[in-house]
Chain A
Amino acid sequence: MKITNEAALGAFANTIYDTTGLSRLIDQINLIERSLFKDKPGMISAKARDYLTGNIISVFEEIEKAGLEPADDQGQLQFLKDLINYLQNLPVVKVTVAFEPTHSFVMKLNNRLSEFLGKKGILELTIDENVIGGAVFEFNGKMSDQTLKYKLHDELVGLVERSSAKIPSSAA
């Protein structure tokens, strides 16, 4: 039996916003997958409660309440495998910014990006003070440099070139 319930999988994806959160979530699911079926009956949240805490248990509980989680061990194992596969295939957008963003800003940025992508996306954040302000976005081999560094560089190049043109050449 193959579980492909998009809503159940999406519930987990909605708890993460960047690649750090994604890695952490996949690690937790791997841990559940490895230690889940040791003669323990019941749903996944009950089986994993002993060694996992926090958000992930509540997400399992929600989908269990909604009846989106398989009841049998084999179905649960397949669900976890599908979940890992789903998370690993989420679109990743590389974002380079000049400052350390707050969690709420990352959430907002992720929501806006997911809106633009038309589906849940994940941010791969890089902090580089050299960009000064703004951000560089990279997705699917395309790049958009919307930084102050880029603009300043353009301005400086123009300024230096104009200045150089004014200097008379001794070779002439």
Chain B
Amino acid sequence: MSLNPTQIFTILIILSFVLSFMSLSMMTILFIRTRQVLKQQEEIISMDKKINKRATKKIEDLAAKKIDDVISATGVKLEEELKKHFLELSKFAAEESNEMGKFIIKQQEAITKESQYHVANMLLKAEKEVAGYKQTKLNEADQQIRDIVFRAAREVIGRSISFSEHEDLVNKALERAKKEKIFA
């Protein structure tokens, strides 16, 4: 049996329609199937989220409970330790305050004694200075009196000695110097 080109062409077109229809059908099926899979996936994700949420809540609850337990247990101990520590601190402060009081009293006594010593010393020194000053002034006055009397005496005696008396005095002085053996 032989087929003309028109027939062949017609057959080819029919075949093409058939293949297209099949292809479209398969794509439709594939699309529907894909949507189903996506939907299932979304459901799985949603379920997973729910599960996670529940698990997280449960874990949080458990952790909170545990932490509460630990805190309550530790809190009591901490409070006891703090009380003990504060007691020690207050005791230490009281002792230190007591010691400080004693130290201050001792210092006050020492300062008082030292002040008394200084005052006594200053008094003694002042008395000595006054005595020294008095003695110096007395000596100065003595010296001034001597000088005045000496000058007056020298004027009077010096004028009254004649030339021959001067010579006589020198001769006598020479004799006395000889007796003192200063020319030996």
Q: Which residues of A contact B (CB under 8 A)?
A: 93, 95, 97-99, 101, 105, 109, 112-113, 116-117, 129-130, 132-135, 137-140, 142-144, 146-149, 152-153, 156-157, 159-160, 164, 171
Contacts and interface: CB of A to CB of B under 8 A. Distances in A.
5 contacts: A97-B166, A116-B178, A116-B183, A152-B154, A156-B153
A135 B174 contact: yes
B157 A146 contact: no
Interface residues of B, number: 29
A100 to B, nearest CB: 9
A101 B183 contact: no
A133 B182 contact: no
Interface in B137-172: 138, 142, 145-146, 149-150, 153-154, 157-158, 161, 163, 165-167, 169-172
Interface of B: 131, 134, 138, 142, 145-146, 149-150, 153-154, 157-158, 161, 163, 165-167, 169-174, 176-178, 180, 182-183
B154 A156 contact: no
A137 B138 contact: no
A132 B154 contact: yes
Which label, helix, strand, loop or mixed, suits the secondary structure of the A interface? mixed
Given A97-B170, A109-B170, A160-B145, 14 more contacts: A116-B183, A129-B158, A132-B153, A132-B154, A133-B158, A133-B166, A134-B173, A135-B173, A137-B173, A144-B176, A144-B177, A146-B176, A156-B149, A164-B142
A156 B177 contact: no
Contacts of A164: 138, 142
